[in-house]
Every structure is written in C-alpha cells, then in structure tokens.
Amino acid sequence: QSVLTQPPSVSAAPGQKVTISCSGSSSNIGNNYVSWYQQLPGTAPKLLIYDNNKRPSGIPDRFSGSKSGTSATLGITGLQTGDEADYYCGTWDSSLSAYVFGTGTKVTAL
C-alpha cells in the first residue's frame, strides 16, 4: 500500500490541460523533493520532472510540476494522444528510509 495517493485516472480532450495530484505526508513530500515519471504501455518509467519542478533535457515545457506542503501536482498542457500513459509521483520517505512511488494515474485523451 503506497504512502503517496494519486487519483486513479484523469482525462481531457486533446489540446486541453490535465492536472494530477500526489498527496503524502511530512516524512516524504513535506520534506523531500518530488519527481514525476511517465510510463507508456510496455515500457520502463521515464523521468518527467525532478526536484519538484525541473524538467530533464528533452522533456517539453507542456509538462510542469509544483509542490505545496505535503502535496505535489503534475500539469500537462496541450494534451496529446501520445501523452496517454500512467504517471507516478515519487520521493524519498525519511521515516521509512525508502523511496516511495504514488499509486499511479492513468491519463486518457478523450
């Protein structure tokens, strides 16, 4: 059972914006940096956002991240059919001495 909670699914029409929330606690999100990963069907997870709001080289600025208190949010603007995937938040949990992933959110472009 994950300590980071995400909505199971979000959807929007192509071109629209979606946001995915990730709720945790003071031992994880509250005191550590958050990352976001995209997992396309049948592939390994791919880093989208790190240090709450930074994008690795090659990740378009349609993807953005933010953090407030014990929650984090991933935003995707200009939704494309190619963005249909599972998205996971992740961070270190200082109490568990473990890296924890969120429950995952499936994004669908209607």
* Contact positions vs another protein (CB under 8 A): 2, 32-35, 37, 39, 44-47, 50-52, 54, 56, 86, 88, 90-92, 96-104
CB of 67 to another protein, least distance (A): 10
**Rounded Cα distance, 101 and 22, in Å:** 10
CB of 58 to another protein, least distance (A): 11
Q: Which of 8/82 has CB closer to another protein?
A: 8
Q: Which of 40/78 has CB closer to another protein?
A: 40
CB distance 102 to 48 below 8 Å: no
CB of 13 to another protein, least distance (A): 26
Residue 90 is encoded by which pair of tokens? 């992740």
Q: Which of 37/83 has CB closer to another protein?
A: 37
Q: Which of 18/91 has CB closer to another protein?
A: 91
Tally of CA atoms within 13 A in the half-sphere of 52 that contains its CB? 13
CB distance 94 to 74 below 8 Å: no
Q: How many degrees, rounded to 5, is the angle at CA 92 between CA 66 and CA 36?
A: 40
